[in-house]
Amino acid sequence: MTGRPLVALAALAFAGPALAHHSYAMFDNTRLVVLHGTVMSYSYVNPHAWISVSGSADDATPAARWDVEATSPLVLANLGLKPENLKAGDKVTVALRPLRDGRFGGSMVFVVTADGVAHGAKPENLGLDPAKLKP
Amino acid sequence: MQQPILAAAATLAVLATPVWAQPGGPRGLPSPEVIAGASSFKPPHLADYARKLASQPDITGAWKPLDPADAGPGPLFDPEHGVWSGKLQPGEATFGPLPGTYIRDIPYRPEYRKRYEALVKETTEGKSRDTFAACFPFGVPRMQGATPVSFDIVQAPEIIDWNNNYGRSQRRIFLDGRPHPAPEAMDPTYSGHSIGHWEGDTLVVDTVNLIGGYYDETPAPYSDKLHMVERIRLIDTNILEDQMTFTDPVMLEKPWVVTRYYQRWFGQGPGGGMPRDKVPPPPPNKGPYVQGGDRIVRDFFELNDRPCVPNVRMDANGFQVMLLPAEIEAEQAKAKGQGAK
C-alpha cells in the first residue's frame, strides 16, 4: 500500500451484529485510513453500497481511486446516507478499514459529507477531531 | 424384427395422447362447454385444508434470530458460547464476525477441533473459506442458526416451507408421514431432506442428506453425514424456540445441542439479528398473522429477494477474494472490447 494509514487505537464500543455478506477477514480493523477527496460514484445497491472516491490518504500520497464498501442501503439510510446525500463530484472525507492485501479498497467507518456532518461511526470515538474532517 | 418397431410405435401412440387432454376439448384444451360455463362454476374451497391447519400452532410469518445483548459483530451459530475477538464502532460497516471470533465448546473430535482452530487461524490472518459471498446458498443449519436477517414460514397441513432469501436457502418440511429416501436414492443438497410431525404443540423435524458446509462464518464445519433433529415450539406469542441437536459421526464425538430463539419480525429495524434488549416490542397481537404476514413477506421480498451478484470469488486455494468495483469495471470494459473485435 502506498497510503500512510493513520492508526487509531480507540476503545471500541459495542456494535450489534449486522448483515453479513462476506467475511470481514479481508479488512484490517486495527488500521484506519482517512481519505480526503471527491466522490466518483455512489452505488446504492444491495447487499452493500459502494462509494468510490478519488483522493489521497491523509493528504500525504498521490490521489488514487479508492473503492469503499458500505453497509446495506437500509442501514445506510438509518445513518443518514440516502441516495440523494452523496453524488459524483461531492467533496468528502471517508474513513475506512483498509483491505489487508494492499489494494485501494476498504470497509466504511464514517463518511463526512460536504456539510461537515459525519455519517456512521463517531470520529471523536476514534480519537479524531471532527473539525479537521470537514471536506 | 417387427416387434421392436411395433413396440416403438405403441410408445409413440401413448406419448401422442397426453394425459392432460381430459378436459375434452380440441388439442387438449378445455372444451367449449367448460369455457362457456366458467362464470357459473363454483370452485371447491379450502375448508378441509383450513380444518387441518386449525389444529397447528401459528408460526406463519417472518422471524428474526435473537442474539445476546453482549454479542459482538456478526452472527454466530451459537452466540451463547461465542468468543468475540473485538468490537467495532457503532455505525461502522461490518460484514460478519471479526477475524478470530469463534464458538467454544463445540464437541468436535480432536482432529476436527484442530481443523476448526486452523480455520479460525486462517480468518484471523485475513483469509476466509466461507462460500456464501460467492453466491453459494446457506445450508439449513446456518439458515436456522446464523442468519443475519429474518426468514419466513408458510404453513400448510402436510408441508411447511421456510424461506431465507438472503441466504438463498429454502427448506421444505414434509409432514405427510413419508420416510427419508434411501441415501443412495438422492444426491445431497444444501437444504437436505426434512420430515416432521407435531408432538402436541412442538414441531419435531428430522433432517439428513445435507451437503457438508459451515454452521456460520467463523467458519465451524460440518460433514455431509450431519443429522439434525429440531424441536420447534412457540414459547410466547411472538417468540419461537428451535432446539437443534446435531449428530455428526464424522466430526462430532457426541451430540451438540444449540437452542436458538427468534422474535416475530414486523419490519422493525433492519432485518438483522438484533440484540435482545434492542428489539422494539412487537405491536399488540391482533392476529391472525397471515394478514400481517402478507405485508411482511412483501417487504421481505422487496428487500432481500435480489439476484446474487458476487463481488467475491473463491480463489484456487479456496479463499475469498474481493473484486473491487474498479476491477469489475475493468473486466467489463475488457470483455466489451473483445466482443467488438
Interface of A with B in 63-102 (CB under 8 A): 65, 67, 69-72, 74-75, 78-79, 97, 99-101
When comparing pLDDT for B95 and B203, which is higher? B203
Question: Percentage of chain A with pLDDT > 90?
Answer: 59
Give the pairing of strands A91-98 and B61-67.
unpaired
Q: Provide the pLDDT confidence category of residue B288 given band limits of 50, 70 and 90.
A: very low
Q: Do B73 and A71 touch (CB under 8 A)?
A: no
Q: Which CATH number fits domain A30-133: 2.40.50.320, 1.10.260.40, 2.40.50.140, 3.10.129.10?
A: 2.40.50.320
Q: Given this model, what pLDDT does residue B306 score? A: 54
Measured between beta carbons, the chain B residues lying within 8 angstroms of A14 are: 70, 87, 90
Strands B193-199 and B202-208: antiparallel
Q: Classify B265 as helix, strand or coil.
A: coil
Q: What is the mean pLDDT of residues B63-81?
A: 86
Q: Is A131 on the interface with B (CB under 8 A)?
A: no
Question: Which of A56-60, B30-34, B153-157 is least confident?
Answer: A56-60
State the pLDDT at residue B284. 42
Residue A65 and residue B24: Cα distance in Å, rounded?
68
User: To 5 degrees, how large is the angle CA B222–CA B225–CA B229?
Assistant: 85
User: What are the pLDDT digits (tens) for A79-125?
Assistant: 888 888 999 999 999 999 999 999 999 999 999 999 999 999 999 99
A67 contacts on B by Cβ (under 8 Å): 324-326
Q: Cβ(A9)–Cβ(A33) under 8 Å?
A: no
Minimal-distance CA residue of chain A relative to B76: A17
* B177–chain A nearest CA distance, Å: 37
> Averaged over B228-238, what is the pLDDT?
93
B143-155 pLDDT, tens per residue?
999 988 778 898 9
Distance CA B68, CA B52 (A): 37
| CA-to-CA dists, residue B154 to B157, B159, B164, B242, angstroms | 10, 9, 12, 16
pLDDT value of position A3: 39
Q: What is the pLDDT of residue A109?
A: 96
Among B66, B77, B89, the strongest candidate for a mutation testing the A interface, having the largest count of A CBs within 10 A, is B89
Residues of B in contact with A65 (CB under 8 A): 326
Residue B133 — pLDDT band, cuts 50, 70, 90? confident
* Chain A CA closest to residue B146: A20
Residues of chain A positioned with their CB less than 8 A from the CB of B273? 16-17
**Average pLDDT value over all residues in chain B:** 81
Task: Check residue B264 and give its pLDDT.
Answer: 80
Q: What are the grid coordinates assigned to B24, written together?
A: 375434452
Nearest CA to B245 out of B262, B220, B226, B263 is that of B226
